[in-house]
Amino acid sequence: MLNRISFEQKNKYLPPLALAGLLLCWLLAFSKTFEAIRLNQSLSEQASQSEDISFNPVYTQRKLKALEQILMAYQVKEEVWSNTLWMKASAAAAKQGATIDYTVSRPQERDTTMAGTGQTLHCYGSFQQLVKVIDTLERTPGIGKLSALQFMGPKAAGSFSGINAGAGSKAAGCILRLDFRAIENKTSNEKE
């Protein structure tokens, strides 16, 4: 049948047949591909908007609640903070068989970036005892939070020219320096 059609007739039917072929390809393959691409783009935009948690009120409330809990861990009663810290630290050290020393060191110049007040304790004992004291004090509420610690081994402790380093059994073990930081609650008179 194609042999009977002349070259001129073939040229007349070629553009409509090519157009029909392109339309068939569009309907069967290309249209679904472009729809999938558009759907992917819209879903990607929605996902990026939902992942932008800075505008998510649920995340903001959860973050604020977590920050308040952290702040509450640092808050202590102003009048009794030193006594509470010393009593709880003494109990933790005694339970682990370590000794503790309270000395008032000269106040250092306050840094304007530091919030709250600090206390320093020195504990003496074996490494295991001192690690258990740290763990106990970290979980103890109402004494502020541990802001810094420093271990000195037996060799360094023997040459330590600090607090009671020459006192027999204390110099034989490790020395642990604990710095606590707390935000003191002000009384109602001081707030006004």
| Shared domain check, 82 and 45 | no
Q: Do 135 and 88 reside in the same domain of the chain?
A: yes
Residue 58 within a domain: no
Residues 85 and 15 in one domain: no
Same domain, 90 and 179: yes
Q: What tokens were used for 163?
A: 């607090």
The answer to whether residues 86 and 179 belong to one domain is yes
Q: Are residues 135 and 98 in the same domain?
A: yes
Domain region containing 167: 76-191
Same-domain status, 31 and 88: no
Q: Tell me if 120 is assigned to some domain.
A: yes
* The predicted structure's pLDDT at residue 63: 86
Our count of domains for the chain comes to 2
Per-residue pLDDT of the chain (192 residues; tens, 9 = 90+): 667 777 788 788 889 989 999 999 888 888 888 899 999 999 888 877 766 666 677 778 888 898 888 877 777 776 666 778 888 888 889 998 898 887 654 445 555 555 667 788 889 998 899 999 999 988 888 787 888 888 888 776 555 545 444 444 455 688 988 888 877 665 444 443
Residues 39 and 117 in one domain: no
